[in-house]
Structure 1
């Protein structure tokens, strides 16, 4: 026998709205169904044709109960009519439900009932009416859970949306999900329901709880539909929601992925089963659930890696889920079984610890550990921590690279600019500490910094000894192969002013080599092209570096820089000397100091400065942000600098671009940071003149300098080369000493247009600025033990860093990479290896392409490639791209072409565009400018297919 139907209030309301308008005066409605809330009478009001009707529902399983309910209803209605209530008899309706067969109801009772018989409740018919449909999906008639749910969940305001002629099952379920669970919109004809939507819903505060409170049949029906619409993972997810653990769905999915990929998968799966409990129907259901969850998390991680406005929100969402997963893993004692999982934060931290444990040995294992760390899916979410780890491995490489002997002051400062200054940058990154706050990692970093400082101290000692000899006779007339700070305007600024050029000279007071490479690396290469003097035959282009005055303090070095001769003085001296230098070259010039270039409220720069920039005058601006930070503690917080950290530097660079001015970024001296313990005291000494210089007799860690470039009484001064010596109160950093970081003056030249490259100068590709060990290039020799072992160096952490430092490795200059690249001043006798470029006749890929018939045919239609030199340039560019793995900056591509032909490629972007037109036959993307024009990308396989016809 079929089960007796059960109805709810909404079904009865719809039944009354259909039947009562056709049965005026009737007060009894018999319903052939049981009421869902049995044992209780329900009363409510329903609107029938604009009139309120008071309804009472009474449920009975016996004829006597039905008769008694009707008699009581009549009596109460009569009493109300005669009493104060005044309700009309016909306004009150009794609805009787129950399991009394129709044949047992006498005619005396049925005569008072609507239609004189028990009325059947057709849920399908009611649902059709609610959606305004004329027909119903046949599948729905047998799904009582769906029909009942649609009756129960009808929106109060406006009801269900109109569904058209036919109400489909999917349309009905989508409307139900929107109304019941907040999944989608009841007014939408479609529901873009996927794993992302479902897992995001599982994290809402009310969605899963609402689902758990639904009747069992409705939960099962929704779960079945979702499994078909959103995939098999939906069943497990909804089971967790029904169990009151919807917020654990994503964390458990991440754990499931870790367990299934674990080497101890069976044991991990058992532990995982205790976490899922009854929500896990079978272990076979784990795989689709884990895959769906990791897919969602991977997409969320990609959002956290982007630069969009939702980045921080996505990052917080990802970490919230995965840290929850780690907590669950710990509670279930699952963590030891999943190890270094590539998704969980615990896996990232373990990989980081593994890397830290290898920092005291050869570079090879540390390199492998770094790759393992960067392969973790959170490596970019923990971007700061990953960058710090990368800096640590770079320092391990540097410790194992041979250092050139300090043969001259000029070569030493250029090598510092090209290599050891980058080591200072890596130490600054490492010194900030790791965001994980892991004690083992922090300890390893501390030991590594100590080892690097020991090596740097030995290098500084050797440089100081060479500096002492050189200083005795160095002058503008006899620089000894070095670029003097007083010659920077002549050697670097004057070439930019030729033929009416209007350089902007920005003096960043206190900018050391590590700060300079950071700022230069942040420049937009689509706007600025870095240029340097052309090197001699067989030499590679390299950044310029000058030698400061001694002691390396602002009053002496900056005045000498701006006056173009050895001077001492303040702002008035600098302004006069700057104007005089340019007047001798028949140019007007103005120098702006702090307070003179800052605009009033509403202005980025002073109107006077902007007016001067618009003129033909040479303009100089002195920026004190870095030097000021050494006193106020800015670098005590962070050693890294961005362009936006330098007050008004972004405004000045933008103004220079707008006015078409080349820019010279130069310092007056560098600095060292105070990385000693807080308990470290200043060094007691006689004749103290500043934080890092004094008069008297040198002691351990100091050097006596004397000569015409020593701006001290009697031309003599004692300067420390050890960075941990200071003679005054503690500050964030110091300058004035004889270390490479303080004496080296970075000189960076930028042009906004290739037309402004001075004669005799060439572009410097971005790839050519960082040393090989920073980029991760193969060491020139196999790994060996570091010059000073970790443990031996760390043991001297409280004493002089030089005390246990190893001697410098003496190696032939020819064996050293670009970190010792020679500049344009001073003789050089050592041979230098040619930069990588095609050797004619070696049958490289580039040479085979330019000899091919398709290339010859294509070249006829492209201007800019002429003669044999043009073909050589194309071949060299292609070979450089292939050697680099298919990607280079436009500057590097142009530099390869220039190196092979000797013909200057003054406009790298234009040269790349010509290559693009030449190689992209029939529109196929053989070569493209990507990343907004910052990168040239070569498709090697497509190049071979298009021009050689042989894809390997």
Structure 2
């Protein structure tokens, strides 16, 4: 009975007693239907009369109250018993011989701060027992007082619902409700409500939170409230869009039927299912970004959704999910199928196959729970497909051409295929990557053989290097000219860093814009040729000596001091420090000392990885090579020359081939007998070990010595070509002949292939710029072939661009501000239009011939030029890397008529 009545409030009892006394009833005892509890003084004074209130939970208590009543004393008995339970003997002593009721709405008025008026719609809603519920579930600190004198329906029901769900009133929306469903402890109170009250609260929630409330509360009332979020994640698959795309309707219909038991037999409508799906996915997105606990909770819900999907046998639909891990795997497998079909038996990859793989990758990238490492490997796979789509150009004519191919093309290939080599944990995906890796390896192997042949011929010919920069020339031809200009230098020698690792490190260093990369004449990057064999004792000692030499660090230090008497050479041990500081104070003092023109620091992070860890799975950046980040952070007034002594190749595991050798070195052996098919014989003055004549493997999978994580010493381009990155703080020319670098990555690395492109465009070097005067090759520092940064690549201008440049409004705006040259404007807009209205910043820089570090300023100038009256003709994505053009708005703002 106690659930049907509430606690009698003193004011309500007082009003009931006043009405009783006004009846002139001769009876002296009145019984009121109320919970037998009294929070106030047991004595009331009404119209001058003293009234005693007595709670009576049992008939015996009522009899005792009647028996103990003094003569003439008036009593109010509070009881939740009905007439039959009290019995005729007690009823005979009561006014009207029955238990009177207290008006519940009167009590409600009092509970909300004695409001004067009740909203009529609230009273009409009382059919499901809202008044009783408000009386029964008063919070400890009472119901909140309404803002006015009227107790509105929304205020009362919002207060009641918030109390029953134990959530703040302001969170009774779809997101608050879905968050509540994740708390089983808060659902218990609601689950114990009478059915009519639960119906009424659900109806109100549907008004405030929308159709999502119907599905959530149905699950809660069926005992599956904690599965509301997993059910919502499946709802988008089982109640697909009306067009049915991306799903099998029959399988979905069967799944909906099987899922009804989670909703207590209720089948959500499409509207309710869509609302539940949106709310559940939004919860996942919010929660997964909170912290590690949030990510764990989100993953628990995702796994539970997949478990339910297996129970209702709809796992085949999970690929359509943008959040479920199984959806990511299914999408990745579909992508792997596209890769497998694209890998050619021979010849270039067809353009259509590359486009299919790109589209499959787009689907993978759209998955919100995509695993970053696996996603990055998939991106690398597409890049390699685009590289394989390009027809292999003619073999390089000179060793310099082969070296530049490694720096400008194949080094990027090596970076991508290292990710591919690391593979994917899924066997199906891994098999596709294996096939692609083999196809890439076949072409790269041909390139390595061509490189090694030229290396052996050039080394044996003892010809002058000309534009070819050798490791022993770096101090004289790169460092010394900077010092001669009055600039101080930090020479960073990363032992074992190949071109692939350097591409990552350079991106990491220049990303913030603090450091700007410079290249010879602002053209493509160049590289350095290592000494032979490509091992530390030969190549690093030659680098730091400024001449061909062999020796350990003591020999390096002695030779470097002879070359730069006031310089300072620091090896890894000298860079270490104690707790609290990243760099030794003596190192800092050397870096900041204006009397020390050259500080050289040797960092062994990569070389150490070749022995002890797996360099194939490492991202080489400031975070992994911490010494680089620390040194750059404290070096703001030196030109940084980033170089290595040799590159490396990684261990190929079961694919490795071990050849016999008496020397026990990993990647070189003394001359003796004819070289095998995977080897080349090299001799000459630049061969510093083996008596000047050695056998070097050019195939990467060959080794002689014990197994390690990686190797160096051989004639593969990845070992013999040293990257050269010159950095300076700010946009200034650090040394004559060097200028801001263009985008370093090749087109196939950055730009998606379109079906309109020709199907086998050869990879070629940028067009050579004619020299102004003839000069002997020995006088040239670098090959004079870089593309001038001031001259954009020629593009046929679309009609819109031609019309813009000819318009009067454009001429007016261009004359009123420091605008870009028209050819730059045309190049930028043409690139955007060709990309469907969007392009990455590095693509824009490459296509418009703008140095990489200046593209942001160029885009700012373009936006200022084209945004008439503040309309966003050009806008930048929040990622800061993708630019968008609204061509229609451009035409409208400049009143163009495309020709």
Shared fold (TM-score greater than 0.5)? Answer: yes
Matched, 1:763 2:763: no
Work out which of the residue numbers 427, 435, 443 in structure 2 matches 1:439: 427
Match in the other structure for 2:181:
202
Structure 1 residue aligned with 2:498: 512
Distance in 2 (CA, whole Å) between partners of 1:317 and 1:756 is: 53
Tell me the TM-score normalised to structure 1 length.
0.80
What is the count of residue pairs matched by the alignment? 853
Structure 1: tracts of 5 or more residues without a match: 36-42, 59-65, 82-88, 186-190, 536-540, 785-813
1:465 aligns with 2:471: no
Q: 1:879: which partner in 2?
A: 830
Contact 2:175 2:283 in 1 (8 A): no
CA distance in 1, matches of 2:271, 2:80: 50
Matched ranges for 1:539-558 at <5 A: 541-558=523-540
Is the Cα contact below 8 Å between 2:318 and 2:330 reproduced in 1?
no
Give yes or no for contact 1:415–1:819 (8 Å, CA) kept in 2: no
- Cα distance, 1:338–1:485 mapped onto 2, change above 3 Å: closer
The partner residue of 2:409 within 390, 403, 419 is 419
Q: 1:662 to 1:14 in 2, by over 3 A?
A: farther
Q: Structure 1 residues 373 and 28, CA, compared in 2 at 3 Å: closer, same or farther?
A: farther
Q: Does 2:894 align with 1:947?
A: yes
**Paired residues of 2:516 and 2:853 also in contact (CA < 8 A):** no
Q: Residue 464 and residue 894 in structure 1: after superposition, are their counterparts in 2 closer, same or farther (change >3 A)? A: closer
Query: Using the alignment, how far apart are the partners of 2:353 and 2:843 within structure 1?
Result: 31
Deviation of 1:408 after TM superposition, in Å, equals: 2.5
Shift of 1:774: 5.7
Distance 1:286 1:313 in 2: 33
Conservation of the 8 A alpha-carbon contact between 1:838 and 1:844 = no
> Within 2, Cα distance between the matches of 1:831 and 1:107?
109
Q: Is 1:335 the equivalent of 2:312?
A: no
CA contact (8 A) 1:547 1:743 kept: yes
Q: Which of the numbers 110, 117, 142 marks the counterpart of 1:129?
A: 110
Q: Indicate if the aligned counterparts of 2:819 and 2:865 stay in contact, CA closer than 8 A.
A: no
Q: Which segments of 5 or more consecutive residues in structure 2 lack a partner in the other structure?
A: 22-26, 45-51, 343-348, 771-779
Distance 1:686 1:822 in 2: 49
Once the two structures are superposed, residues 361-382 of structure 1 have per-residue CA deviations (whole angstroms, 9 ceiling, x without a partner) of 3353464244234325425533
Paired with 1:592 and 1:171, the residues of 2 have a C-alpha distance of: 74
* In 1: Cα distance, 2:649 partner to 2:670 partner: 17
Do the aligned partners of residues 572 and 338 (structure 1) sit closer, same or farther apart at CA in structure 2, a change above 3 Å counting? closer
Shift of residue 746 of structure 1?
0.8
8 A contact 2:819–2:862 mirrored in 1: no
Q: Alignment partner of 1:483: what SS? A: coil
Q: Which residue of 2 aligns with 1:799?
A: none
* Inter-partner Cα distance in structure 1 for 2:436 and 2:853: 43
Q: Secondary structure at the match of 1:500?
A: coil
Distance of aligned partners of 1:28 and 1:821 in 2 relative to their CA distance in 1, 3 Å threshold: farther
1:448 pairs with 2:436: yes
Alpha-carbon separation, structure 2, partners of 1:727 and 1:202: 63
The one of 847, 855, 867 equivalent to 1:920 is 867
Counterpart Cα distance in 1 of 2:111 and 2:587: 74
Separation in structure 2 between the aligned mates of residue 782 and residue 935 of structure 1, nearest angstrom = 25
Contact 2:793 2:849 in 1 (8 A): no
What's the counterpart of residue 571 of structure 1?
A: 553
Aligned to 1:55: 55
| Cα separation, partners in 2 of 1:446 and 1:101, compared to 1, 3 Å | closer
Aligned to 2:7: 10
Which is worse superposed, 94-103 or 457-466?
A: 94-103
1:483 aligns with 2:486: no
Does the CA-based 8 Å contact 1:304-1:312 persist in structure 2?
no
Name the residue aligned to 1:810: none
For the residues of structure 2 that align with 1:268 and 1:836, how far apart are their CA atoms?
Answer: 54
SS of 1:648's equivalent in the other structure is helix
| Matched residue, 1:177 | 161
Q: Deviations over 1:542-599 (max 9, x none)?
A: 111111111111111112222222122233333344444456xxxx532222122334
Give the Cα–Cα distance (whole angstroms) in 1 for the partners of residues 620 and 718 of structure 2.
Answer: 16
CA contact (8 A) 2:767 2:785 kept: no
What is the rounded CA distance, in whole Å, between the counterparts of 1:297 and 1:521 in structure 2? Answer: 38
Whether the aligned pair in 2 keeps the contact of 1:32 and 1:99 (CA below 8 Å) is no
Given the alignment of the two structures, is residue 375 of structure 1 paired with residue 363 of structure 2, yes or no? yes
TM-score (norm 2): 0.84
Corresponding position of 1:853: 808
Report if the CA contact (8 A) 1:837-1:879 is conserved: no
- 1:252 paired residue among 228, 231, 250: 231
Maintained 8 Å contact 1:757/1:906: no
Partner residue, 1:806? none
Alignment CA distance shift 1:161-1:282 (3 Å) = closer
Query: Does the C-alpha gap of structure 1 residues 577 and 919 become closer, same or farther in structure 2, counting only changes over 3 Å?
Result: farther
Q: Partners in 2 of 1:205 and 1:402 — Cα distance?
A: 62
Q: Match of 1:594?
A: 572
| Mapping for residues 579-728 of structure 1, pairs under 5 Å | 579-582=561-564, 588-616=566-594, 617-635=597-615, 638-656=617-635, 659-677=636-654, 683-690=659-666, 692-697=668-673, 698-728=675-705
Q: Contact 1:471/1:709 (CA < 8 Å) preserved in 2?
A: yes
CA contact (8 A) 1:70 1:94 kept: no
Residue 146 to residue 633, structure 1, CA distance change in 2 (3 Å): same
Q: Give the C-alpha shift of residue 239 in structure 1.
A: 0.8
Quote the Cα distance in structure 2 between the aligned partners of 1:783 and 1:653. Answer: 44
Does the C-alpha gap of structure 1 residues 27 and 667 become closer, same or farther in structure 2, counting only changes over 3 Å? farther
Which region of structure 1 is more displaced relative to structure 2, 571-580 or 709-718? Answer: 571-580
Is the contact between residue 551 and residue 719 of structure 1 (CA under 8 Å) also seen in structure 2? yes
Task: Check conservation: 1:273, 1:280, Cα contact below 8 A.
Answer: no
Cα offset for 1:628?
A: 1.0
Q: 2:201 aligns with which of 207, 217, 222?
A: 222
The answer for the alignment partner of 1:804 in structure 2 is none
| Structure 1 stretch displaced more, 295-304 or 95-104 | 95-104
Q: Distance in 2 between matches of 1:250 and 1:887?
A: 36
The 1:561/1:509 distance shift into structure 2, 3 A limit, reads: same
Task: Provide the rounded CA distance (Å) in 2 between the counterparts of 1:649 and 1:53.
Answer: 85
CA offsets 1:410-444 (integer angstroms, 9 cap, x no match): 2222212222222222222123332xx32222233
1:295 equivalent in alignment to 2:245: no
CA separation of 1:244 and 1:498: change in aligned 2, threshold 3 A: farther
> Partners of 2:843 and 2:483 in 1: how far apart?
26
Which deviations, in whole Å up to 9, do the C-alpha atoms of 1:683-729 show, x marking residues without a partner?
Answer: 43123345544453333422221111111142111222222233332
Match among 473, 484, 488 for residue 502 of structure 1: 488
Name whichever of 541-550 and 690-699 sits farther off: 690-699
The farther-off stretch of 358-367 and 323-332 is 358-367
Tell me which of 713, 735, 740 is aligned to 2:712.
735
2:47 is matched with which residue? none
1:391 aligns with 2:387: no
Q: Deviations over 1:622-674 (max 9, x none)?
A: 111111111122437x2432321003221222223xx2433222111111111
| 1:352 Cα deviation after fit | 1.9
**Whole-angstrom CA distance in 1 between matches of 2:524 and 2:445:** 25
Q: CA deviation at 1:127?
A: 1.6
Aligned with 2:654: secondary structure? coil
The corresponding residue for 1:837 is 793
Partners of 1:493 and 1:944 lie apart in 2 by 51
In structure 2, relative to structure 1, the CA distance for the partners of 1:517 and 1:201 (3 Å cut) is: same
Structure 1 residue 773: deviation in Å?
Answer: 5.2
| Superposition deviation, residue 877 in structure 1 | 4.0
Kept in 1, the 8 Å contact 2:452–2:716? The answer is yes
Counterpart in the other structure of 1:791: none
Whole-Å Cα distance in 2 between the matches of residues 916 and 559 of structure 1? 51
CA displacement 1:8-67 (0-9 Å, x = unmatched) = 24347885687799999x99651258x8xxxxxxx6664437999873324xxxxxxx6x
Are 2:520 and 1:528 equivalent residues in the alignment? no
**Distance between the aligned counterparts of 1:582 and 1:413, measured in 2?**
29
After the TM superposition, which of the residue ranges 455-464 and 494-503 deviates more from structure 2?
A: 494-503
Cα RMSD after superposing both structures: 4.2
